[in-house]
Amino acid sequence: MTRLSVNINKIATLRNARGGNVPDLIQVAIDAQKFGAQGITIHPRPDERHIRYQDAVDLKPIVYTEFNIEGNPQSKFLSLIEKLRPDQVTLVPDADDAITSNAGWDTVRHQDKLREIIAACKNIGVRTSIFVAPELKMIEGAAACGTDRIELYTEAYAHQYPLNPEKAVAPYAAAAVLAHELGLGINAGHDLSLENIEYFAKNVPNLAEVSIGHALICEALYQGLETVIQSYLKKLAH
């Protein structure tokens, strides 16, 4: 079964819009795990416009499933990883002003940098994952960096899925096959939703984990968080 990690960034966005502590990010993380989430994902950015660095510290004691922290490996971010030692760090090459992640790593161009960062994370016992597009050259580059896993950047799949699901998923399936052959674990995330997740999970082999935030929180506005998490788990149980 593919595991579900719930990205709670959007809960922090809603809280920050009004100030105070409503909704309570910590309580949402506790509840998401109680409802069946197998991990909690956060993605702090330098401007802390949603998840704050203090949130990461506060979440550490209450995440008993898997704590996955995503971000651009700048010095402040890496210091946070060294301090908290989450279960997994996902390295994402997003710009400081990016609204959301919009590109995977060029694992060939940045191979030396990534290799050094990954080695440092693994030395403190943190599993590493690299955010990459489903390009075979980038998968090979990720393996050469020494990462434990990759996270396939699924925006293109989500956009193409309504038009041609088979064509949309094909490059991801090929990337997953190669990644598995190279000894990499396979995660995925970005724009996955209740509409497209089941087809993706059934057609991408050896998919270990998906990280879902924006769509899941939007769906929960109508259906409730517990119902939505349970719906994802059913679709991932193939």
Cα–Cα distance for residue pair 142/108, rounded to 1 Å: 8
180 is catalytic: no
Residue 43 annotated in active site: yes
| β-bridge pairing 39-42 and 67-71 | parallel
Which residues 6+ apart lie within 8 Å of 162 measured at CB? none
Place of tokens 């939505």: 228
- Taking the C-alpha atoms of residue 189 and residue 212, their distance in angstroms, rounded to an integer, is 6
Residue in 70, 151, 209, 219 annotated catalytic: 70
Active site residue 190: yes
CA 34 – CA 16 distance, rounded (Å): 24
Q: Which two tokens stand for residue 132?
A: 């990459």
Q: Give the active site residue among 50, 66, 151, 190.
A: 190
The catalytic residue positions are: 43, 70, 190
